[in-house]
Structure 1
Amino acid sequence: MSSASPSYKGHRYPVGVIAHCVWLYFRFPLSFREVEELVLERGVLVSHETVRRWYAKFGQTYANGLRRRRPRPGDKWHLDEVFVRINGVLKYPWRAVDTDGTVLDILVQNRRDKASARRFFRKLLKTTRTVPRVIVTDKLRSYGAAHRQVRPSVEHRSHKGLNNRAENSHQPTRQRERAMEGFRSVGGAQRFLAAFSGIPPSFRPRRHLMTAPGYRAEMTVRFAIWEQITGAAGQPAAA
């Protein structure tokens, strides 16, 4: 994947304003109108529909840029799936996290069967470009069947109690889903979750393990990386 900054050709707003609005939307449980209000307080006139277009166009690009800066994922992966209702129909976001709780990939699917598990396994391996030492899942038999077809050499541990790391990683998604009053379409859910799993975690270091000066220094580094991958370094921001 290219590490070049995204193209802003044809956009009349400064790069820093665009990047800041997208950051606000993903980092905090805000609506597009609330982002509009926050930047208006800073003297930036931008409509909520413009914020929506920026989210759709740049969110995934920014998330991909942040993922490229991450260390190699741990060799133990935890996989899990939950259900969401989209227009009254049950759908299943499949999720994988590594030992540190970093989200590796998300795929929204219609079912929880073997074909769905196999599809997720293959996408996960393609996205991460690496193979784990062990995968941990719950007791859903689809995992075992897909594992035997895709990567039988990888150790598979199937136990409900071992998979809390993956289950806990769904909590931010649930909180945001409630704030958004649900997803409107499968495609919209996939677009949001794919970017959401990449942007907010980059600004959530393990603060409880840090001193206050250490936390501020770490956040300074992370904001500098954000400016680099968005192309906003040296550009005017909304704040």
Structure 2
Amino acid sequence: MINFRDAHYPKDAILYAVYFYVRYGVSYRDLEEILEERGVHVDHSTLNRWVIRYSPMIAEAAKKSKRTAADSWRMDDTYIKVKGQWVYLYRAIDKYGDTIDFMLSERRDEEASTRFFKQSIDNNGLPNRVVIDKSGSNEAGLLNMNILLFLVGWIYLIEILQVKYLNNRVEQDHRFIKKLTNPMLGFKAFHSAQATLAGIETAHMIRKGQLSQIGIPAYRQFMSLAG
């Protein structure tokens, strides 16, 4: 449960503002105006602090609440601009399109890929197979995971498929994320990019129905994650 005791605004107002930003990609100044029309007077810098503070905690709750993923994954990375430089958003979905996990990294290399796969497996369990593109670093990351599995005596290793057309689904899934981040014209700091993307990914999971709260409005599902 997220603690709102030190907040100077009602919990529902804060969560509604955070959800609106990460779901629709409006500017902070536009969001300030939208809230003011609804009787909530808050400046854009405070809205930014809310997104950075609360989005990661809500994302962690979403990861624990989402339905179990299939054991066939599609993994790929895409680009996000931070401080004028490209950084890398690692993402994986299952064969049905459900989000497995995501991770922002300043580098695109074997170490980052290995870290992403370890995080994803820790959060979701072992997949039977993972489809990737021709990236050597992503293949190396999966091979490292198989080496670890072998060393601990695991009989079944992860099947690695490098088939581009099978990976089209995750590439298409990137579009929702890019649709929201592109108008933001880049982030000013890595930690704020991490936090905002965590919120965007959570809103995307809710949009896909991964929290299985049928009939409940999306923003209410988002708010319920705060406890």
TM-score range (shorter-chain normalised) is: 0.7 to 0.9
Counterparts of 2:41 and 2:85, CA distance in 1: 38
Tell me the alpha carbon deviations over residues 34-85 of structure 1, each in whole angstroms, 9 at most, x when there is no partner: 1111111111211112211111111111222223221111111111012333
Cα contact 1:62–1:199 (8 A) shared by 2: no
Worse-superposed segment, 138-147 or 219-228: 219-228
Partner of 2:133: 138
TM-score (norm 1): 0.81
Partner of 1:235: none
Partner of 2:109: 113
Equivalences for residues 147-166 of structure 1 within 5 A: 147-151=142-146, 153-166=157-170
Counterparts of 1:227 and 1:192, CA distance in 2: 16
TM-score (norm 2): 0.85
Worse-superposed segment, 30-39 or 82-91: 82-91
Equivalences for residues 90-105 of structure 1 within 5 A: 90-105=86-101
The Cα RMSD (Å) is 2.2
Q: Offset of 1:147 from its aligned partner?
A: 1.7
- The count of aligned residue pairs is 216
Counterparts of 1:107 and 1:27, CA distance in 2: 18
Tell me the alpha carbon deviations over residues 183-214 of structure 1, each in whole angstroms, 9 at most, x when there is no partner: 223332222222211123303449xxxxxxxx
Call closer, same or farther: CA 1:97–1:221 in 2, change over 3 Å.
same
Counterparts of 1:25 and 1:164, CA distance in 2: 28
Does residue 77 of structure 2 align to residue 81 of structure 1? yes
Give the one of 30, 33, 51 matched to 2:29. 33
Does residue 178 of structure 2 align to residue 174 of structure 1? yes
Q: Offset of 1:143 from its aligned partner?
A: 2.4
Match for 1:74: what amino acid?
A
Partner of 1:237: none
Give the one of 52, 55, 62 matched to 2:58. 62
Q: Offset of 1:87 from its aligned partner?
A: 3.1
Match for 2:103: what amino acid?
L
Counterparts of 1:81 and 1:169, CA distance in 2: 11
Call closer, same or farther: CA 1:172–1:224 in 2, change over 3 Å.
closer
Worse-superposed segment, 35-44 or 101-110: 101-110
Counterparts of 1:111 and 1:30, CA distance in 2: 28
Q: Offset of 1:223 from its aligned partner?
A: 4.9
Q: Offset of 1:222 from its aligned partner?
A: 4.8
* Percent of residue pairs bearing the same amino acid type: 27
Structure 2: gaps spanning 5 or more residues: 148-156
